[in-house]
Structure 1
């Protein structure tokens, strides 16, 4: 790596492993569901590390944490970096945590090198990126960005009926700062790719130019519970059979778009879920993604028409609720350029890439110039306890983050 200003890769890895101890699972992953006691422990350890560096911590009304390192000019808007510490129920060590801990290493390295940046720098831990407890991904960044009204977010409940505001109070992280955008110069987020492209091509860095368009639904199929042994085919209204046909439709629509299309049914409930009862109701999720918003729209339109016909032909009732429809989100050209320049200067193999996953950066980009950095992950596997990256991959991504953030914080302002 062609620079004398180096982060400490061994320290970065050790800190990643220390965070992975919190919520560690027997199969080598983590379970840090948002706003739980385990999440509180992760937040507390993160806060302790930040305070040891002399950073000033503030927490907003949705629990987003901002750790600030002052710059030479306190009046300049800060450069932000960060990600999230919450996980899926059977998540990996690096999804989200890499971006937060790499940001911490950037702060440590700035201190080690006695670098005073012109602009302040803030490290962010966004609340509930995963959405695995309250069913609303990107909750913290989305509330901050004004996508979700704060009171509506507070009213969301988990499977046990616990509200978000109650959960925040229970762990002591309903902050006093407004959960709202503030003046900031830029935002950078380091993340594992969560896909196979970088590893497959032997690239060390993904220069993320933006995120895919998405359309998400909640679906319900209403049939009729009946005895599995006495109900003949002619009178069955099998909700699960109708669901299977819809799932196949989602897959077919996805594959018709080649390698760019995405279509997934990732969550399914069957009722009454009894061995000898024809299922009378199902509830499930449906989502489509594509780099081109027009294609995502077309996939959704095709699905809506054909799914309704399939369910009707099965003798069941179809209920579809659209949750959201997001246009593709481009990232800021200047910030993307800083990432690309850093990778080139460091001699790292890199390529431009569109994010297939949603990240906090997608909502932040609506208010602040934003860019993302990807590192490879083994077999493209994520949202899985076997999720894995190599120490040198983490170091390379963190070094690019360091260079890009430093360049942005020290840039000469127009005029």
Structure 2
């Protein structure tokens, strides 16, 4: 690329990579299934708290003024020349699932810090402040609600609701914030930023299939999470006739098969359905299950089709209960978000930055949920996707994006943030 625009900047790729690898050692474990080093840093565990402290140290070393709010969300602020101007916000999360890789969420946080380092080194001053955010419990795997910190910051969920959520051991989020020292004093409601841009690995194969390294994200599809509990009746596996059983495990299996049939029918658009958690009780070889618990994750870019799928699943649960004497079913809503379109103007700034860096890019919809979908309620928002390897696998120790791909994505982030931060 020749004669790049003066506001086209590149970051230190080696330093960015070292940050990613150093953070990955916090909560690291050896995964027996893959033989690889994985990350287990569930929200507000000791490992997550250690990771947070490391990120805060990096923020402070980069000259950022750090604040922590009552949800444990962390913000590092680099001032601009106009102290009254709304900031440009970037960031993501560092909490993980139990079998994670090094990049999900972390690239957006550490990439934001790397942008600040680069601006400082080049003596670049922006009109607007730039802030780097770290949101609490984005994954939702510990306290059952994803994008939790950003949802409270944006006002979709209340602080009281979030603080009262419990993990499977009965620990509340509020108590865990206090235990880890991240029950900060700052107001949790975020003042609307000027814009929000999040850099994230794609977590899918689309960029690789198209032979490009950068995705300009147009929005996030709708997400529905619920927990279904089936109550049956325990019985001896050898002495109880099949016709007299109220088998909670069988009912759970029928729900799973029904979900797949709904997806395959094509009646619900691009519906995706996953049962990611399933347990039966008492979980013994020779006892008919008395209770089954399962989670249902539905995704759909069409809100109307999603609503039909939810209604038809509810109808099937009622039919199942009526058809199986001795069974009762209950449901609990865990999370639900509608399709969120991203701001076209911010998308154009991202695309222009990629062009000026000489990077091929495509536009695509996100199949995964992100903090950006919550912050989009406050300000113009869009995302940058970075290509992953191994078919874009994520939530797995095989998750991988090359040092070059990560650096290119953060180059686009840096140029985008600089251009937005200099706007009137």
How far off its partner does 1:34 sit?
1.3
- Show the 5 A alignment for 1:189-200: 189-200=198-209
Give the corresponding residue for 2:288: 278
2-structure distance, mates of 1:326, 1:37: 29
Pick aligned residue for 2:316 from 306, 321, 324? 306
Q: Structure 2: any 5+ residue segments left out of the alignment?
A: 32-36
| 2:410 maps to 1:398 | yes
2-structure distance, mates of 1:86, 1:154: 17
> RMSD of aligned C-alpha atoms?
1.5
2-structure distance, mates of 1:319, 1:136: 18
Give the corresponding residue for 1:294: 304
1-structure distance, mates of 2:226, 2:24: 33
Give the corresponding residue for 1:344: 355
Pick aligned residue for 1:381 from 371, 384, 393? 393
| 2:30 maps to 1:26 | yes
Task: Describe the superposition over 1:249-271 as per-residue Cα deviations: whole angstroms up to 9, x where unpaired.
Answer: 11121233398321111111211
Bigger Cα displacement from structure 2, 129-138 vs 203-212: 129-138
TM-score between the two structures when normalised by the length of structure 1: 0.96
Task: Describe the superposition over 1:108-145 as per-residue Cα deviations: whole angstroms up to 9, x where unpaired.
Answer: 11111111011000000111111122122111111111
Give the corresponding residue for 2:159: 150
Pick aligned residue for 1:243 from 236, 252, 272? 252
1-structure distance, mates of 2:55, 2:194: 24
- Secondary structure of the equivalent of 1:182? coil
| 2:345 maps to 1:334 | yes
Structure 1 segments (4+ residues) deviating >6 Å: none
- Secondary structure of the equivalent of 2:29? coil
Pick aligned residue for 1:78 from 87, 93, 100? 87
Q: Structure 1: any 5+ residue segments left out of the alignment?
A: none
Give the corresponding residue for 2:373: 362
- Show the 5 A alignment for 1:131-280: 131-257=140-266, 260-280=270-290
- Show the 5 A alignment for 1:85-124: 85-124=94-133
1-structure distance, mates of 2:60, 2:129: 16
| 2:403 maps to 1:409 | no
For the 8 Å contact 1:5–1:113, the answer to whether it is kept is: no
2-structure distance, mates of 1:127, 1:355: 20
* Number of equivalent positions: 412
Give the corresponding residue for 1:41: 50
1-structure distance, mates of 2:380, 2:13: 28
How far off its partner does 1:322 sit?
3.4
For the 8 Å contact 2:269–2:305, the answer to whether it is kept is: no
Give the corresponding residue for 2:11: 7
How far off its partner does 1:86 sit?
0.7
TM-score between the two structures when normalised by the length of structure 2: 0.94
